[in-house]
């Protein structure tokens, strides 16, 4: 093993969180004097995942988006609506385009080194990362590896697991001006299930099913749901499947930031970036990235950046998770009430943790009150 190499900042993991942070630092003139190491066992490429998020105005990834929409559909047995999102746009970003853009920024940077090496150990107190090929030292370490000692037993937890098909029809079957944000009309099977449809054009789309539960399907299970959904709600016309994707997203109010210690800070899913009530993560990763960069620029504690995951919106997320998973209130009814009685821009701001108290009040007035009151009583203590 070679001698120790010294950096100002080490970023362990070159996925969504690590590449977002490394590329933002590389583009920040105030941090050009910092020597940065981005460390991963491989150079990621290809479309291994798809991220969706809403954004107001132009964003950092607009030039490489697969598609974006200013309208969405919401469907359930209670209500069907086509909703305008202005001033927001709902955006779809495929991982290969994200990897290419961020890796290009890092490669062109004079102060960021991207090293391929597997990580065997991180010493948070010494700021020491032991790799297979070398040992690296830094004053600050950001890691997207899950911390040791995770124990969800005293916290709410469920998985959002999903399967999706990129399909292409022979006929024009999709409204390419609108994405289907949630469609609860499928059989719920005592779970919370919805499909969403992201049209790339009038013939092509990603059709995906998402399930909130800890009982996972095999691939055939997801495929059967998608196949039936297409036949029942999209078209009986001929189509081909170009690609498939499957995955699992943990949804929990677990305080991941409590595992930050010494010189080590966790980012991405391992840092608490996944929205506990919905599973959305990409937008929150970008929000956290901006907070971290601001802390580095102003030489203030990195701990301050984790406020983006805390506060009253974590309480709201925890209450929603309790209502859905512990009290087993039907998700299609809860979300139907929200989309029928609340302005969609308020819902999106709420999901971003960006509502005012008046916006919070609009959200709270929409669904049935008692389950949420009961949920609040149950979740306050673990969040202290």
Lowest mean pLDDT: which of 212-216, 319-323, 346-350, 375-379? 375-379
| 384 pLDDT more than 50 | no
Amino acid 370: pLDDT: 41
Domain boundaries, the chain: 5-48+93-151+254-309, 157-251, 312-383
Whole-angstrom distance, CA of residue 342 vs CA of residue 360: 11
**Average pLDDT in the 292-309 region?**
95
Give the H/E segment covering residue 12: strand 5-12
- CATH homologous superfamily for the domain 5-48+93-151+254-309: FAD/NAD(P)-binding domain (3.50.50.60)
Confidence of residue 114 (pLDDT cuts 50, 70, 90): very high
pLDDT classification of 343: cutoffs 50, 70, 90: confident
Distance CA 171, CA 234 (A): 11
Average pLDDT over residues 141-170: 93
The candidate with the shortest Cα–Cα distance to 105, out of 9, 18, 8, 13, is 18
Per CATH, domain 157-251 is 3.40.50.150: no
Contact 112, 38 (CB under 8 A): yes
Q: Each residue of 6-59: pLDDT tens digit?
A: 999 999 999 999 999 999 999 999 999 999 999 999 999 999 899 999 998 899
Position 250 scores a pLDDT of: 93
Q: What is the Cα 363 distance to its own chain's centre?
A: 21
Residue 210 has pLDDT above 50, yes or no: yes
What pLDDT is stored for residue 222 in this prediction? 98
Please tell me the predicted confidence (pLDDT) of residue 360.
62
The answer to whether the peptide bond before residue 366 is cis (omega within 30 degrees of 0) is no
Average pLDDT of every residue of the chain: 90
Mean pLDDT score, 84-101: 96
pLDDT higher than 70, residue 310? yes
The position carrying tokens 């673990």 is 382
**Residue 38 is encoded by which pair of tokens?**
């981005």
Residue 118 predicted with pLDDT over 90: yes
- pLDDT of 248 strictly over 50: yes
| Candidate from 21-30, 43-52, 160-169, 363-372 with smallest mean pLDDT | 363-372
How far apart CA 74 and CA 143 sit, in angstroms, is 37
Contact 197, 179 (CB under 8 A): yes
């Amino acid at each position: 093993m070679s001698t120790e190499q010294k950096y100002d900042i080490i970023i362990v993991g070159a996925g969504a969180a690590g590449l977002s942070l490394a590329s933002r630092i590389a583009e920040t003139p105030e941090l050009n004097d910092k020597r940065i190491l981005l460390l991963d066992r491989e150079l990621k490429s290809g479309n291994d995942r798809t991220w969706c998020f809403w954004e107001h105005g132009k964003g950092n990834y607009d030039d490489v988006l697969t598609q974006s929409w200013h309208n969405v559909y919401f469907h359930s047995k209670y209500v069907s609506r086509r909703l305008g999102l202005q001033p927001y746009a709902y955006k779809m970003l495929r991982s290969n385009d994200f990897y290419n853009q961020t890796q290009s920024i890092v490669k062109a940077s004079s102060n960021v080194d991207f090293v391929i090496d597997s990580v065997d150990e991180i010493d948070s107190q010494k700021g020491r990362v032991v790799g297979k090929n070398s040992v690296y030292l830094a004053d600050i370490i950001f890691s997207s590896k899950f911390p040791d000692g995770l124990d969800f037993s005293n916290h709410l937890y469920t998985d959002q697991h999903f399967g999706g098909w990129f399909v292409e029809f022979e006929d024009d079957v999709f409204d390419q001006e609108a994405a289907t944000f949630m469609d609860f009309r499928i059989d719920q099977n005592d779970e919370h299930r919805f499909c969403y449809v992201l049209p790339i054009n009038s013939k092509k789309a990603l059709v995906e099913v998402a399930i909130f539960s800890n009982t996972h399907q095999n691939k055939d299970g997801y495929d059967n749901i998608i196949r039936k959904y297409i036949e029942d709600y999209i078209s009986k016309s001929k189509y081909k499947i170009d690609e498939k994707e499957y995955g699992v997203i943990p949804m929990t109010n677990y305080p991941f930031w409590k595992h930050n210690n010494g010189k080590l800070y966790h980012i991405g899913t391992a840092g608490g970036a996944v929205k506990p009530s919905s599973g959305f993560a990409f937008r929150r990763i970008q929000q956290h990235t901006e907070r971290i960069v601001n802390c580095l620029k102003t030489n203030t504690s990195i701990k301050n950046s984790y406020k983006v995951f805390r506060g009253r919106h974590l309480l709201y997320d925890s209450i929603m998770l309790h209502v859905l998973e512990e009290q087993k209130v039907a998700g299609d009814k809860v979300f139907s009430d929200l989309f029928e009685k609340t302005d969609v821009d308020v819902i999106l701001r709420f999901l971003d943790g960006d509502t005012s108290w008046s916006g919070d009040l609009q959200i709270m007035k929409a669904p049935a009150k008692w389950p949420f009151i009961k949920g609040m009583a149950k979740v306050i203590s673990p969040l202290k």
